[in-house]
Chain A
Amino acid sequence: MASYIRSFLSQLEAEAIGVLREAVAQCGRTALLFSGGKDSIVLLHLARRAFWPSRIPFPVLHIDTGHNFPETLLFRDRLADELGANLIVRYVQDSIDQGRAVEETGPNASRNLLQTVTLMDGITELKLDVAFGGARRDEEKARAKERFFSHRDRFGQWEPKQQRPEIWNLYNGRKHQGEHFRVFPLSNWTEMDIWHYIRERHIEMPSLYFAHQRSVFRRDGMLLAASPYLPLLPDERAETSLIRFRTIGDMTCTGAMYSSATTIDDIIAELAASRVTERGSRADDKRTETAMEDRKRQGYF
């Protein structure tokens, strides 16, 4: 009977594919929110598998803060091309120019929060019923309680106390006009699972995840990439070090780590020995104890 037990990766893959198909079959207009990070890359590959040999039946939506790593954008365009996916980009800069979003000021200014405005505008413009996201429950304690089909009201807000029970594998995709779902097929994956899967399926990853020489500086205990978007304070000094990124987001809030991991095996070994979590290197989560929940309630990813 041993052959009738699938490995955990196979089970997670099947679960994610099932959720992708279910959302597309039950709901009308769908899109995949692409951030350029490993989770959304894995999600895109899973979408390819879920509908193969058909094409991915939805566009890929990227909310570009204008503060992305150049590597991310190059990788994004190449991947969309390779998978034959329809890429749609919406710019936070446009929201700022239209006066719909106001840029933060100060040394730690980030456009991370402003993404929500552009995202919600994009969802309205594209009349989306479902936006797929690569969020995982192990990332953060508010996410640990979120459903696969996460219901959002007309304002894109998440109401954690009013979540629909999700029982067995029966996903309720019914909603009223104007509401939408964020659907998270990777809910039950951990950071380690993502890397095992990347290795198993030979999925190409942006070079930012691997050790490379980069000019970085230290601020509030974090190692940040030197960039025009983050002017150095008087007592800060940038220096070139061998680093890699454990998560990839906006350049203004993504912390780097010293690392010599140049292969996926190296990364897995490094993770296994790590004593801090993935989001420990994200400035956006350190703002308050419930930073993620507060942002999600506002319509964040």
Chain B
Amino acid sequence: MTEPHVELLRLATAGSVDDGKSTLIGRLLLDSKAILEDQMAAIERASQMRGDPYLDLALLTDGLRAEREQGITIDVAYRFFATPKRKFIMADTPGHVQYTRNMITGASTAELVIVLIDARKGVLTQSKRHGFLASLLQIPHVLVAVNKMDLVGYREEVFQAIVEDYRLFATKLTVHDITFIPISALLGDNVVHKSPNMPWYDGSSLIHYLEQVTVGTGRNLVDFRFPVQMALRPHQDFRGFAGQLASGTISPGEEVVALPSGQRSRIRSIATYDGDMPEAIAGDAVVLTLEDEVDISRGDMIVRRKNLPQVDSEFECMLCWMGEESLDLQTSYILQHTTRQVRAFVDELNYRIDVDTLHRASASTLRLNEIGRVKITTTQPLYYDPYQINRATGSFVLIDPATNNTVAAGMIRRRARELEEIVRQPAPRQQSANVVWEETPITRAMRETYNEHGAAILWLTGLSGSGKSTLAHLLEHRLFAQGVQTFRLDGDHLRHGLCGDLGFSAQDRQENIRRAAEVAKLAFGNGSVVLCTFISPFRADRDFARSLAPAGAFLEIFVQCDVEICKRRDPKGLYAKALRNEITEFTGISAPYEEPLQPELTLDSSVLTPAQCVDLILDELHVRGIVPHRRQSS
């Protein structure tokens, strides 16, 4: 549709009656002819009935019986007005009761927020609160309307002082565009026309600004994301996927992939009732057909093959609580994200943010209208982008399964990370700059002399079931019998304690090995022969361990064994589980193993007996002078 090509701007107003918000809205509606005679007559009637000395324009927006009776505004109301250039959908969010819930509801789809400030009062707490919420929601434009200029004699210095105050405060926010306009909503100064009372002001009138501010900047037009609403199959020859582009653009012929299946295809057509489209953009409601038969259903996401979203089940989020009942860290909620609903737990509440002061405070729960930073875990991974770069795929709501009420709005910041992961980056071992290594007065050399053997790190690497632990067990007995001081580091043992917080992703494996290597280094320094048994599938991780020991003291021992034999041995039943998909990222099945390129020793455990292997290791230690005398072997 191209005619009439009038643009649409969705905006929200924040503030209370005291700031003159209703007066401003009333004026915008009156001046754009959106209030008609019968509505005016109704307001006049109601005002007279209540004995108001003035025409209460709030009666226009306060539609509910309770609101009229109590003289308060309860809920967000939507107003519509138009100028020849634009149409406006305005969410009027009341400031007194439940301001956070209301403003988030009203502003979540807005591109612009009008924050009203009373010129006589200056920047109040609530003006800051509105700015903070606009920043949290990443509203592209904030318009600060400094109202009631008529009551301060239209003085420029009053306006400028407020501008400076607010700008100073806004440095704490991430608001990209703030505009200030001095107005008098009551008398109409700078609302529609430039006011002769403020010749010092050289900006636009409010309505002119609303007409020319750039629309569409809040959308992401780069990352194509298509959450599938439903599959349509009217007959054998047509299979299409209905949905609205959450972001980005797409054209026929482009290579796409369906998540979570990972199946690839190309866009065949962008079908609509009016015929195929050459291109679809963010917001369009279309039906996509693909070149290939791909199994896709509601909740799946179609994306460009070379522009993938993030996939995780643990997130750091900002959460705005909207439920009457407080957040319960023990309850599972339903998390609705794009077209999917999954179960979710709020695992951790990092802090609550005071929307008035922006201070962070520790908290044990979030109550109605409170905002906090949390960690959320979902039962199934989500395909998302951080809210900051994609409002549509970075936002979600939480639903209480008991009441079915929507209880929270969330904005994803990023994948949840462990502390170790953060302090390790970018240069992990140099991070603790102020920690000075204190050399122990008893050196390794002194201990080696006392022990009558050298220290070494024996690093046994290989698949699960290749025999690493069996060899280490036997070897340790033999060394112990020879009076050698040993130290045993085993993957499973470490994961029960020191590394109990790690999983089996590539990153967690890396961290697991880093910790093991550091501990091995300490034991090595203490004069021990350190026996390390870790699958340690990645070369880089083993090389890191090697780098911690002096040349010649680190022995990489590759315990080689065919994966089929490992599967048959399967001492812990892990292969069976991995083959049933009960374990993901299992080395040799669903995760890679990088064989050592130049190990000090390679032992083929499918050919050699454990005793033979241990003999070969002891020989190597002897040759290297680590265990000088091969004493009595049993």
**Interface of A toward B, CB cutoff 8 Å:** 1, 4-15, 17-18, 21-22, 24-25, 48-55, 137-138, 140-145, 160-161, 163-170, 172, 174-176, 187-188, 190, 192-193, 196, 200, 274-277, 280, 289-290, 293-294
Contacts and interface: CB of A to CB of B under 8 A. Distances in A.
B42 A7 contact: no
Nearest to B411: A168
Given A167-B406, A200-B1, A8 B7 contact: yes
Contacts of B399: 172, 174
A7 B1 contact: yes
A170 B387 CA distance: 14
Contacts of B337: 170
30 contacts: A4-B216, A9-B4, A10-B1, A11-B8, A12-B8, A17-B244, A21-B229, A52-B271, A54-B232, A137-B80, A141-B60, A144-B78, A145-B75, A160-B74, A163-B75, A165-B105, A167-B105, A167-B108, A167-B409, A168-B108, A168-B397, A169-B392, A170-B337, A172-B406, A174-B401, A196-B4, A200-B1, A275-B37, A276-B37, A280-B38
A277 B229 contact: no
Contacts, number: 188
Contact of B8 (A8, A145, A174, A192): A8
Given A8-B6, A165-B409, A168-B395, 8 more contacts: A18-B285, A49-B273, A52-B272, A53-B238, A53-B240, A141-B61, A169-B392, A188-B78
A200 B3 contact: yes
A102 B493 CA distance: 79
B68 A289 contact: yes
B292 interface: no
Given A188-B89, A277-B36, A167 B8 contact: no
Nearest to B42: A289
Nearest to B79: A144
Interface in B388-439: 391-392, 395-397, 399, 401, 404-406, 409
A7 B284 CA distance: 11
Given A25-B298, A161-B74, A165-B322, A175 B283 contact: no
B403 to A, nearest CB: 9
Contact of B284 (A14, A142, A196): A14
Contacts of A50: 242, 285
Contacts of A175: 404
Given A4-B216, A53-B234, A138 B8 contact: no
Interface string B65-87: 11010000011111110100011
A98 B129 CA distance: 57
A7 B6 contact: yes
Contact of B216 (A5, A7, A276): A5
Contacts of A17: 244, 285
Interface string B38-71: 1100100110000000000000111111101000
A281 B238 CA distance: 47
Contacts of A277: 36, 38-39
B230 interface: yes
A7 B63 contact: no
Going nearest first, the 3 A-B pairs with the smallest beta carbon separation are: A141-B63, A8-B8, A280-B38
B404 A176 contact: yes
A282 to B, nearest CB: 11
A186 to B, nearest CB: 12
Interface of B: 1-8, 36-39, 42, 45-46, 60-66, 68, 74-80, 82, 86-87, 89, 101, 104-105, 108-109, 215-216, 221, 229-230, 232-234, 238, 240, 242-244, 249, 271-273, 281, 283-285, 287, 298, 322, 334, 336-337, 339, 391-392, 395-397, 399, 401, 404-406, 409
A6 B105 contact: no
Contact of B80 (A18, A145, A190, A280): A190
A6 B86 CA distance: 12
Contacts of B89: 188
Contacts of A200: 1, 3
Contact of B64 (A13, A24, A142, A188): A142
A264 to B, nearest CB: 13
Contacts of A48: 273
B232 A170 contact: no
A221 to B, nearest CB: 10
A160 B1 contact: no
B244 A293 contact: no
Contact of A187 (B74, B78, B406): B78
B233 to A, nearest CB: 8
A49 B272 contact: yes
Contacts of A276: 36-38
B64 A160 contact: yes
A157 B46 CA distance: 26
A277 B263 CA distance: 54
A41 to B, nearest CB: 16
B285 A172 contact: no
A5 B39 CA distance: 33
A10 B2 CA distance: 8
A7 to B, nearest CB: 5
A4 B66 contact: no
Nearest to A54: B234
Contacts of A293: 63-65
A268 to B, nearest CB: 10
A290 B322 CA distance: 28
Nearest to A136: B80
A169 B215 CA distance: 18
A25 B229 CA distance: 7
